[in-house]
Amino acid sequence: MLDMRYRNIGISIFVLTALAARCLAAQTTDVIGALIDAAAPGSTITVPAGVYQGHLRITKGVVLDGHGAVTIDGGGEGTVVELLAPNTTLRGFTISGSGAGVDREPAGIRAETGPVVIEDNVVDDVLFGIDLRTAPDSIVRNNLVTSKHLEAGRRGDGIRLWWSHNCTIEDNSVHRSRDMVFWYSEGLHIRGNHVTDSRYGLHFMYSHDTTLEHNTLDGNSVGIYLMYSNRITVQDNVLVRNRGASGYGLGLKDCDDIVVRNNAMLANRVGIYIDNSPSSVDSNGLVEHNAVQYNEIGFLATPNTHNNDLTENAFIENEQQVAVHGKGDLAQNHFARDGRGNFWSDYAGFDLQGDGIGDLPYESRNLFESLLATDPNLRIFVNSPAQQAVEFAGRALPQLQPNPSFTDPSPLVQRPVSLAAGTSSRFNAAMGFVSLILLCVAGAGLWLGAERGLRRKEALS
Amino acid sequence: MSATATVSTPTGLAPSVPTAILAIARRELRDALSSKWFAMFTIAFAGLAIALSFLSLAGAGSSGFAGFGRTTAGLLNLIMLLVPLLALTAGAGSIAGERERGTLLYLLAQPISRSEVVIGKFLGLSGAICASLLLGFGLSACVLTWRAGGVGVGAFVALVALTCLLAMSMLAIGLLISVRSRKTSVATGLALCVWLALVFLSDLGLMAGTILFKLRVQEVFALAVLNPLQAFKMGVIMQMNASLDVLGPAGMYASRTFGDHLAWMLPGVVGVWGAMAMVIAMVLFARRVSV
């Protein structure tokens, strides 16, 4: 009883202190620490609005709510907020100013136990963003994470999970960070995240049984890279402009039983890259219903790659539709299943029966592409008449024709409809203006010549 | 080209330098526009450019994403084939043609210098070729206006400007051939050889060299960019993508090394070719003892 009263008095005093401190500039996180100390486990604490300097260690399972009006500034040292008790919720904070040295991996928010909920926070100017170490069953939702202004390899990871199973990571935005990376974490749900200007958008290391869906990876070095991770479903993701040195939209390395479905890979250096996946003899990979468009290479795989089924994908206007990474072919993979292959924008066959399946197989015997496999430096000659000349020579002279690296026995003649992400066929007024100017100038030039010609004729007659 | 025209200058007065150049330029423009070869080129270029913009609109149907796909590359290929062909042959035919018909003698009898003749012819033919290109691009832009919401106007304008620069550069090389040639047929033949060399042979040779001698990435880039057509192509890609990374390792090397400087370096290569050809043409023409 007495304790209770003291506690209530204590809370009142602290709240008053907090309110008073709000008016002062030098307000520290000790204020929040005292609020937590005073609260019962499981209670909800609304932290008064304001800026708090220093670091916060949460050692009691409480719900901390900043309502979007609380900033915690670590002052450029160490990890800013640490969640050290299970059943802690951190919501609606702005957290900034972690340390920058990599030796201790300072983070904006670090959880060392689970489950915890981290949601609606803005994490800014930190090395690592949100770091979950052995924090299973946690939820990281709707956070906005931005790293420090460093070169990509020197930044920390925007969101990192280490040995944290069954977590849900959804609707987070990560900009200018290193990776959103998952180590040894199984049974994750990764939905609706948006990663831009980072190194690897979503990166999996030894993390199995996970679903990645509706994520957008735009302008990273690599979109999604799965390594040594099995039984993963990648669906409905948009992978755009991932154009780093390797520049894969989706990369798979030594992964078993992967399903890649309904994704859009647009304008990456390589749409889909497979390096020895599946790696086990008895497992399979499935790539279906994806739109692979405008990439330099649509589908790239190492020659040892086998047991992948590619069906009903649309390969549209990739500079190179399919390529082998090294010497060899892709004969151990199937480019059709149940008599249905893929749609190829450069397919030049026909469909006599009208059953939607081309009567001639699709295979690439492009001489220029086979030269590219010999020496990638030759890519500098793409989009030039010389490239066309080489390709023509390859078609015209059978002895120059390379062997096909793969064959799609039943290519689709119609593009699968499920994909298309809406068209933007709107009126372009600026282009109209340009058109008008160009035509006017051209017209003036022509008139100048024609008028003089007319006068000459008059003079002659 | 009609040979009966004379330079119209105010009677009794020696023309000032710009007046003389302009008079020749106007005559050249008029002659070029009335030639059938020129009309054919204009129609062909406009037709193909319109067709290609329709095609690229169809290609960009899904997600309205205008990537640098095969269809967009088509327009570049078309320009790199046709524009040098027209500009080189037009330039090659101009002075050699007048020489063959004997009208060059009358032209040089006017109170104007030989350099003014070359500059005048260059300006006139540039005007004609650029007008023809602008017509094609203008109609193509008309098609794009109608539906291509996502197409960048800046990149398109850059493409037009670079194409005109390429045409003028090739025209200068054509004039250089023309200055030295006695007959139109020889000049046209030479122009076709140069066209073949620039468009196909140099690139194919460099491709073979890259494979045979295992050229390093900086060597491949340096040798490729010496070709004004490749420089033009890279210049256009630079304007569209702000980087040459679509061109593989050599392109990435260039972007990494030169960065934004590429935006002026690449058109610079094209321009230097033209300027050098122009200077040499004027010097050679001025030094000629006969017409």
Least confident of A143-147, A221-225, A440-444, B64-68: B64-68
Q: What is the DSSP letter of A412?
A: B
Query: A246 vs chain B: nearest CA distance in angstroms?
Result: 11
Show the domains of chain A with their CATH numbers: 99-408 (2.160.20.10)
Is the confidence at residue A212, as pLDDT, over 90? yes
pLDDT digits (tens, 9 = 90+) for A290-308: 999 888 899 999 998 999 9
What is the pLDDT at residue B61?
A: 46
Instruction: Say if B46 falls within a structural domain.
Output: yes
Check residue A40 and give its pLDDT: 92
Give B289→chain A minimum CA distance, Å. 33
**Polymer length of chain A:** 461
**Considering CB atoms only, which of B34, B77, B224 is closest to A380?**
B224
Q: Residue B9: pLDDT above 50? A: no
Domain-embedded: residue B272: yes
pLDDT score of A244? 86
The amino acid at residue B105 is: L
Is B8 domain-assigned? no
Residue B166 at interface with chain A, using a CB cutoff of 8 Å: no
Mean pLDDT of B84-113: 91
Question: Is B267 inside a domain boundary?
Answer: yes
- Reported as a pLDDT band with limits 50, 70 and 90, residue B129 is very high
CB contact, 8 Å: A300 with chain B?
no
User: Is residue B2 one of the residues assigned to a domain?
Assistant: no
What are phi and psi for residue B126, nearest 5 degrees?
-55, -45
Mean pLDDT of A428-455: 76
Give the pLDDT of residue B59.
53
Residue A70: which pLDDT band, with cuts at 50, 70 and 90? very high
Chain position carrying tokens 């994403």: B65
Q: Give the C-alpha distances (Å, rounded to integers) separating B174 from A405, B88, B125, B258.
A: 44, 4, 11, 31
Q: How distant is the Cα of A428 from the closest Cα of chain B, in angstroms?
A: 5
Residue A293 sits at the chain B interface (C-beta within 8 Å)? yes
Given this model, what pLDDT does residue A458 score? Answer: 53
The 8-class DSSP code of residue A340 comes to B
- Return the residue of B nearest to A422 by Cα: B63
| pLDDT bracket for residue B4 (50, 70, 90) | very low
Looking at the predicted structure, is the pLDDT value of residue A423 above 60?
no
Domain of B29, in residue numbers: 17-287
Query: Given its phi and psi angles, is residue A30 left (phi above 0), alpha (psi -120 to 50 degrees) or beta?
Result: alpha
CA–CA gap between residue B147 and residue B159 (Å, rounded): 19
Residue B87 covered by a domain: yes
For residue A444, the model assigns a pLDDT of 84
User: Nearest by CB to B220, which of A377, A434, A441?
Assistant: A377
Average pLDDT over residues B155-183: 93
**Range scoring the smallest mean pLDDT among A418-427, A441-450, B11-20:** A418-427
A380, A431, A448: residue with CB nearest B248: A380
Q: Is the peptide bond before A115 cis (omega within 30 degrees of 0)?
A: yes
| Tokens found for residue A268 | 């990456």
Q: Is B256 on the interface with A (CB under 8 A)?
A: no
Please state the rounded mean pLDDT for residues A60-88: 94
Size of interface A-B (CB pairs under 8 A): 226
Residue of B134, B195, B225 best to disrupt the A interface, most CBs of A under 10 A:
B134
Burial of residue A371, with CB atoms counted within 10 A of its CB: 0-12 exposed, 13-18 middle, 19 or more buried: buried
| A431/B71 touch (CB, cutoff 8 Å), yes or no | no
Contact B156 A431 (CB under 8 A): yes
- Model pLDDT, residue A263: 95
* Section B32-39 average pLDDT: 84
Residue B57 and residue B74 in contact, taking contact as beta carbons nearer than 8 Å: no
pLDDT at A9: 61
Any domain includes B78 = yes
Region of poorest pLDDT, from A134-143, A261-270, A374-383: A374-383
pLDDT at B8: 47
Q: What is the rounded CA–CA span in Å between residue A264 and residue A246?
A: 18
pLDDT at B7: 46
Beta bridge partners of A71: A51, A94
* Mutation to test the B interface, candidates A236, A380, A426, A438, most B Cβ within 10 Å: A380
Q: How far is CA B213 from CA A47, A376, B12, B221, in A?
A: 69, 14, 66, 14
On the question of pLDDT at B176 being above 60, the answer is yes
| CB-nearest partner of B249 from A316, A317, A376 | A376
Q: What rounded mean pLDDT belongs to chain A?
A: 88
Task: Using a CB–CB cutoff of 8 Å, tell me whether A424 touches chain B.
Answer: yes
Query: CA-CA distance, B237 to A383, in Å (whole number)?
Result: 10
Mean pLDDT of chain B: 85
Q: Place B69 in a pLDDT band, splitting at 50, 70 and 90.
A: very low
How distant is the Cα of B235 from the closest Cα of chain A, in angstroms? 12
Kindly report which listed range (A10-24, A444-458, B91-105, B154-168) carries the lowest average pLDDT score. Answer: A10-24
Contact A424 B81 (CB under 8 A): no
How many domains, chain B? 1
Give per-residue pLDDT as tens, B200-257: 999 999 999 999 999 999 999 999 999 999 999 999 888 877 778 888 889 989 998 9
Q: State the ipTM, two decimals.
A: 0.84
CB neighbour class for A326 (10 Å; exposed up to 12, middle 13-18, buried from 19): exposed
Taking 90 as the threshold, does the pLDDT of residue B149 lie above it? no
| Residues of B whose CB is below 8 A from A450 | 30, 33
A340 contact partners, CB below 8 Å, separation of at least 6: A311, A312, A357, A410, A412
Residue length, chain B? 291
C-alpha triplet A436, A441, A446: angle, nearest 5°: 120
Mean pLDDT of A369-387: 87
Q: Is the pLDDT of residue A80 over 90?
A: yes
Q: Would you call A269 an interface residue with chain B, using a CB distance cutoff of 8 Å?
A: yes
Q: What is the largest CA-CA distance in chain B?
A: 68
Cα separation, A356 vs A340, whole angstroms: 9
pLDDT higher at A432 or A393: A393
* Residue B278 located in a structural domain: yes
Mutation for B interface: A221, A368, A377, most B CBs within 10 A: A377
Over range B256-260, report the average pLDDT.
89
The stretch A26-51 carries a mean pLDDT of 91
The pLDDT, as a whole number, for residue A317 is 81
Sequence-distant (6+) residues with CB within 8 A of A60 are A36, A37, A39, A41, A85, A88
What percent of chain A clears pLDDT 70, i.e. is strictly above it?
89
Reported as a single tens digit per residue, the pLDDT across A98-118 is 999 888 899 999 999 989 999
pLDDT value at position A108? 96
Q: What is the pLDDT of residue B37?
A: 82
